[in-house]
Chains A and B, each alone.
Chain A
Amino acid sequence: MPLPAIDQRSPVLRMANVDKVFGGVVQALSGMSLNINEGDFISLLGPSGCGKSTALRLLSGLLSPTAGRIEWAGGYQKGDLGVVFQEPTLMPWATVGKNVSLPFRLRGKSQKAVQAEVEEALALVGLEGFEDSFPRELSGGMKMRVSIARAMVTRPRLILMDEPFAALDEITRFKLNNDLLALKERIGCTVVFVTHSVFESVFLSDRIVVMAARPGRVIREVQVAAPYPRDEVFRTSADYAAYCRQASEALQDAMEAA
């Protein structure tokens, strides 16, 4: 069989008409559909309570939908998923290297066997040589980089990020945004990114899913057609400003709809 040309659009995961109701009363998510294709960088943007984190937890399998379906193309295998939370969520008792190798070790591989992968992942986030450091020796931004290295060390088909940079200062956040895009160029990962920052979502993603609250639902999708790689030039361009306005208006609608 001839190898198919690299199809940016081959599907990874599909959410179809997903409802989530908590305790039989709180409608956290209503009729959400989302197609995630390989190479996508999708941001979920919305006010608090719009169900974006619930959507992410559904995608990660931590919650199961009340109604509707969530399907992995070709079935879900261990290691298909990487996650980054708002906090770095590192194990304080383990070295950086052991933290990064965790997804492998939970699949029964030894630290030694995955040494090369761990080193490569750390190099990709700019932390070569920090393998034997403990998390407490690192700054907030560096901890987040370790967390990203851990999420991508298995080269998962999908990486979920739940407001990963929200707790960082603006300068660190800009830098990490740049580095995340560079990383995406390098390894071509697929990302679903939850944020409440319009600017961040425009800078990073090619699709912004704008959500409204009560009940949590998708109200609009904004396409950001600007090509990758994006850099500081893009951040100061008229295009960027226009996309930001578009996303802001969508967000405004979302707040009014609530």
Chain B
Amino acid sequence: MTLADSSPQPQPQISAPDAEEAKRARTRRIEKTAKWVLPFAMAILAIVLWDRIVVWNEIPHYILPSPARVWDSLTGDWDILWDAALLTGRITILALGLAVLGGAGLAILFNQSKMLELSFYPYAVILQVTPVVSIAPLIFIYVDSKIAGMLLCAWIVAFFPVLSSTTLGLNSVDHNLRDLFRIYGANRWQRLTMLQLPSALPYFLGGLKIAGGLSLIGAVVAELVAGTGGIGSGLAFRIQEAGYRLNIARMFAALSLVAAMGVMIFAALSIFSHLMLRKWHESALSREG
């Protein structure tokens, strides 16, 4: 049988690429560079423009600080901001972890028992569609620990995308594979671990990426509602506090850290997702030719 033989044929003489090919190659090269250069150029342009507007219009720094002032605040207040970032980061990551456990766990539970799903799924939706800002004050009345309250807030926001996308994934098993498992007499556990969970993985990872951003939002909202109280202060609290003191530069500095944290979480989850899927899933394949 000659399935595997792909013995290299003597290549016909390769002629110079025609004009269309050359044009396409050039476009590709330019786009590749532009992908990195353009965002940076835009950022520099925006910062310069920002600086000029402040200087030319003599805007006082308690209304709009210049980029240099924000930078000074970022470096000068680094100790305060870093501690705040650590706290917010910790809450975010913990909440994300709990959201993964809770969301994926509930999805598996619902998948295994239709009755459980019918009983509880509507409440998961209600929890999701109720704005967390309006639930948070209640949570802090009944939950003594600030940390626990903040975690709960962030979890409420973040678990649903994991739950709904994992549920979708568990139900998206190729029906022929499902039949195959039945014919070969797979039990419930084998079906779950060898068929449904791997099928659900790409969906779960999609939900995880959304949950990463949402858990940061949840953590920030929770901080704003909880205020400070003996547990140190996170970035959101620092923003609020700086606002009261008209320290606008520090507000910008803290805000940029929140944004950076969001980007980092997204990037980390994207890399994680790529590593998990690169061997087999369509989304992780680079097209050849």
Which residues of A approach B to under 8 Å, CB–CB?
60-62, 78-79, 81, 83, 85, 87, 89, 91-94, 102-103, 105-107, 126-127, 129-130, 134-136, 141-142, 145, 179
Q: Which applies to chain A's interface (DSSP): helix, strand, loop or mixed?
A: loop
On chain B, the number of residues with a Cβ less than 8 Å from chain A's Cβ atoms is 24
Q: Sample 21 A-B pairs with CB under 8 A, ordered by A number.
A: A61-B183, A78-B184, A79-B184, A83-B179, A83-B180, A83-B183, A85-B180, A87-B176, A89-B174, A89-B177, A91-B198, A93-B198, A93-B281, A102-B180, A105-B194, A106-B184, A106-B185, A107-B184, A126-B3, A134-B280, A141-B3
User: Which residues in window 1-44 of B have CB below 8 A to A?
Assistant: 1, 3-4
With A and B bound together, what is the CA distance between A85 and B177 in angstroms?
Answer: 9
Report how far A30 CA is from B3 CA in the complex, Å. 43
Contact between chains at A129 and B4 (CB < 8 Å):
yes
Q: Distance in Å from the Cβ of A15 to the closest Cβ of chain B?
A: 17
B185→A136 contact, CB < 8 A? no
Knowing A89-B176, A93-B280, say if A106 contacts B190 (CB, 8 Å).
yes
Chain B, residue nearest A81 (CB): B183
CB of B280 within 8 A of CB of A136, answer yes
In the bound complex, do residue A130 and residue B177 qualify as a contact, i.e. CB atoms below 8 Å apart?
no
Cβ contact within 8 Å between B194 and A130: no
Q: Mark B240-252, 1 if CB is under 8 A from A, else 0.
A: 0000000000000
Within 8 Å of chain A (Cβ to Cβ): is B266? Answer: no
B186 contacts partner chain A, Cβ-Cβ < 8 Å: yes
Closest chain-A Cβ to B178's Cβ sits at a distance in Å of 10
Min CB distance B4 to A, Å, is 7
B279 surroundings in chain A (CB, below 8 A): 93, 134
Chain B, Cβ-Cβ closest to A57: B179
Return chain B residues, CB-CB under 8 Å to A103: 184
Interface contact B198-A126, CB-CB below 8 Å: no
Q: Which residue of A is nearest B276, CB measured?
A: A93
Q: Interface on chain B toward A: helix, strand, loop, or mixed SS?
A: helix
The distance from the CB of B280 to the nearest CB of chain A, in whole angstroms, is 5
The 8 Å CB contact of A126, one of B1, B183, B201, is B1
**B198 to chain A: which residues have CB within 8 Å?**
91, 93-94
Closest to A108 in B: B190
Render B175-210 as a binary contact track against A, CB cut-off 8 A, 1 for contact. 011011111111000100011001001000000000
A-side contacts of B184, CB under 8 Å? 78-79, 102-103, 106-107
* Residues of A with C-beta under 8 A to B195: 91
5 additional A-B pairs beyond A85-B176, A91-B177, A107-B184, beta carbons within 8 Å, are A92-B280, A102-B180, A102-B194, A106-B190, A134-B280
In the assembled complex, the Cα of A105 lies from the Cα of B190 at a distance in Å of 9
Interfacial chain B residues near A87, Cβ < 8 Å:
176
> Is the Cβ of A89 less than 8 Å from the Cβ of B183?
no
Name the residue of chain B whose CB is nearest to the CB of A60.
B183
In the complex, A89 Cα to B184 Cα: how many Å? 14
| Residue with the highest number of chain B CB atoms closer than 10 Å, among A89, A92, A135, A179 | A92
Return A25 CB to nearest CB of chain B, in Å: 23
Hey, which chain B residues are within 8 Å of A79, CB to CB? 184
Q: Decide: B285 and A106 in contact? CB cutoff 8 A.
A: no
Q: How far is the CB of B45 from chain A (nearest CB, A)?
A: 43
Interface contact B3-A127, CB-CB below 8 Å: yes
The proximity string for B residues 70-114 relative to A, scoring 1 for CB distances below 8 Å and 0 otherwise, is: 000000000000000000000000000000000000000000000
Q: Given A78-B185, A136-B280, A89–B180 Cβ distance below 8 Å?
A: yes
A91 to B281, CA, bound (A): 11
The 4 closest A-B pairs by CB, nearest first: A126-B1, A89-B176, A93-B198, A106-B184
A173 CA to B281 CA, complexed, in Å: 27
Among the listed A62, A91, A136, which residue makes an inter-chain contact with B285, where contact means beta carbons less than 8 Å apart? A136
Q: Which of A62, A85, A93, A127 contacts B182 (CB 8 A)?
A: A62
B273 to chain A, nearest CB (A): 14
B216 CB to nearest A CB, Å: 30
Smallest distance from the beta carbon of A148 to chain B beta carbons, Å?
13
Roughly how many angstroms separate A135 CA and B186 CA in the complex, as a whole number? 22
With A and B bound together, what is the CA distance between A19 and B279 in angstroms? 46
Residue among A62, A91, A93, A179 with most chain B CB within 10 A: A93
CA distance A61 to B281 in the complex (A): 31
Per the bound structure, the CA–CA distance linking A1 and B194 in Å amounts to 44
For residue B242, give the distance in angstroms from its CB to the closest CB of chain A: 49
Q: A60-B183, A78-B185, A89-B180 are in contact. Are A142 and B194 (CB under 8 A)?
A: no
Q: Closest B residue to A134 by CB, please name it.
A: B280
Give Cα distance in the complex from A102 to B185, angstroms: 11
What residues on B are CB-neighbors of A126 within 8 Å?
1, 3-4
- CA A78 – CA B183 in complex, angstroms? 9
Q: Which of A85, A107, A130, A135 contacts B185 (CB 8 A)?
A: A107
